[in-house]
């Protein structure tokens, strides 16, 4: 499962829907997600990809504290 949090919206999709695999680099995953979301890749520049022990991926904005 791939959970995407982008501009206040959440998307839950399968790896097949966005054509990603867990062994892809963050850059490759962001590139595939930009195609899926129909946006420029640079809009995901400050996003983090959390790789969960279950194999799920969470793509979210970088957290800023303080």
User: What pLDDT digit, counting tens, does each position of 23-66 carry?
Assistant: 999 999 999 999 999 999 999 999 999 999 999 999 999 987 76
**Mean pLDDT of the 4-28 span:** 94
| 4-12 LR contacts (CB < 8 Å, sep 24+) | 4/33, 4/37, 4/59, 4/60, 5/58, 5/59, 5/60, 5/61, 6/37, 6/44, 6/47, 6/59
Rounded CA-CA distance 66/51 in Å is 25
Structural domain range at position 37 = 2-61
Structural domain includes residue 39:
yes
Structural domain includes residue 20:
yes
**Mean pLDDT of the 2-18 span:** 95
Structural domain includes residue 66:
no
Q: Are strands 2-6 and 57-61 parallel, antiparallel or unpaired?
A: parallel
Task: Read off the pTM.
Answer: 0.89
- Domain count for the chain: 1
């Amino acid at each position: 499962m791939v959970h995407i949090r982008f501009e206040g919206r959440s998307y839950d999709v399968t790896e097949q829907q966005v054509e990603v695999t867990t062994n892809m680099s963050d850059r490759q995953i962001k590139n595939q997600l930009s195609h899926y979301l129909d946006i420029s890749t640079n809009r995901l520049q400050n996003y983090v990809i959390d790789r969960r022990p279950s194999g799920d991926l969470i793509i979210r904005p970088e957290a800023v504290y303080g």
